[in-house]
Amino acid sequence: MVLNKALKNKSYRVIDIKLDEKLARRLQELGIVKGGKVHMVRRAPLGDPIHICINGQNISLRDSVCSGIVIEEDK
């Protein structure tokens, strides 16, 4: 599944980033790397963007970006 479908207050593991090179690179630099953990914190009141937490760092990403981040539930 992709990050848009993530549920509030759950943790996930990134398995792929399907975005153009520049954007994918920036996300990786911020710690959104394959195999890394992301925690879905909340959606904005208007539904977009979403608020995630990576390595203790809070980041807000738009739906359009999240749809390129493939995740799976973290067991």
Partner 1 sequence: MFRYRHRRRQITQPLEGSIKIAFVGNPNVGKSALINAIAGSNLKVGNWPGVTVEKKEASLIINGKMFSLVDLPGAYSLNPFSLEEKITRDFLINEKPDLIVNVVDSNQLEKSLFLTLALSEFEIPMVIALNFFDEMIKNKTEIDIKKLKDLLSVEIVPTSGVKKIGLDGLKKAIYKTLNEGALPNILFEGSLDKRFKQIREMLSDENKDLGYPLSFAAARVLENDSQIVEDLQNKNFLNKKITDLSLDNTTYIQSRYRLISSICNSVLVRTVNENNLTQKIDSVLLNKFLGLPLFAIMMFVVFKLTFDLSQPFVDFTGYLINDYIGKYTIYLLWFLPDIFKSLIKEAIIGGVGSVISFFPLIGIFFLFISILEESGYMTRAAFLIDKLMNSIGLSGKVFIPLILGFGCNVPAIYATKGLDSQKDRLLAGLMIPLMSCSARLPVYLLFTAAFFGSFKELVILGLYFLGAFIAIILVILLQLAVPSLKMDSTPFILELPPYRIPPLKFLLRLTGFRVKSFVRKAGSVILFTMILVWSVNSLPYNAPPGESYLAQGSKSIAFIFAPAGFDKWEAVATLLPSVVAKEAVIGTLGQILEAEQGNSKEIKGPEKYNFLSDTSEVIVKFKNSFIEAGSSLLNFFTISSFQEKEKNESLMNRLKALFTPLSALSFMIFILLFVPCIVTISVFIQEYGIKWTIFEICMLLVISYSVSTLVYQTGKLFIR
Q: How far is the CB of 52 from partner 1 (least distance, A)?
A: 10
User: Which residue lies nearer to partner 1 by CB, 6 or 61?
Assistant: 61
Q: Which residues contact 53 (CB under 8 A, 6 or more apart)?
A: 38, 39, 41, 59
Residues 9-68 that bind partner 1 (CB under 8 A): 21-31, 33-36, 41-49, 51, 55-62, 64-65
Give the pairing of strands 37-43 and 69-73. unpaired
The residue ranges of DSSP E strands in 1-75, in sequence order, are 10-17, 37-43, 50-54, 57-61, 69-73
How many chain residues bind partner 1 (CB under 8 A)? 35
Query: Where does this chain bind partner 1 (CB under 8 A)?
Result: 21-31, 33-36, 41-49, 51, 55-62, 64-65
